[in-house]
Structure 1
Amino acid sequence: MDEAEFMRGRVYGADHDNPGPRIGRVYAHLVGGPLDGLLLDITDLTEGERGRGVSLATEIGRYGPGGHCAYGPRPGDPRRFDWRGDVP
């Protein structure tokens, strides 16, 4: 199994022993970039926060450990967050 297959269906930041989505939570699909295919729990984000997008810590982006990936909602499909680039 390659890394992309391993990460599919997993929730960003979830416990490794229970990596899947939980009932009663709202998720967005991360599309593109180093976190492509992961789910992001957006349950506790306000509508305004969801609209601004998120910066997620990752070790597999352009800036390695300590770096972040920027994702934002896709126009017309707020349940998909598209990759906007890597940031230090």
Structure 2
Amino acid sequence: MDDAGARLYGRDDDDQGALVAGHVYAALLGAPLDGELLLDVTGWVAAELVEGALLITDRGLYGPGGRAFYAPAEGDPAGPFLWHGDTP
């Protein structure tokens, strides 16, 4: 994966660095974290990859402290994580 311009979820803009060799990253697609934002899923077990994650964001429907639900498309745990909605 080309890490030029890659941004990682959970890191401040001034704390961005190159992707770590050997790590596995899932692209986040769909609002509110859509774009060149990657989620480090290194070490996640199969069930976690299928279930996805609630990611804290201030860009969603519920503002600061809200969460956006991202999960891979059904049957594609290795694919990008797609946005499925927001929750408080």
TM > 0.5: yes
Please give the TM-score of this superposition, normalised by the length of structure 1.
0.81
Higher strand proportion: 1
The CA distance in 2 between the partners of 1:10 and 1:66, in whole Å, is 20
The CA distance in 1 between the partners of 2:83 and 2:6, in whole Å, is 17
Unmatched runs of 5 consecutive residues or more in structure 1: 1-7
Task: Give 1:58's aligned residue.
Answer: 57
Please give the TM-score of this superposition, normalised by the length of structure 2.
0.81
Task: Give 1:87's aligned residue.
Answer: 87
Aligned CA-pair RMSD: 1.6
CA 1:17–1:28: 2 relative to 1, 3 Å: same
Which segments of structure 1 move beyond 6 Å, counting only runs of 4 or more? Answer: none
Cα deviation for residue 19 of structure 1 reads 4.1
The CA distance in 1 between the partners of 2:74 and 2:6, in whole Å, is 23
Unmatched runs of 5 consecutive residues or more in structure 2: none
Provide the identity percentage: 49
CA contact (8 A) 2:8 2:16 kept: no
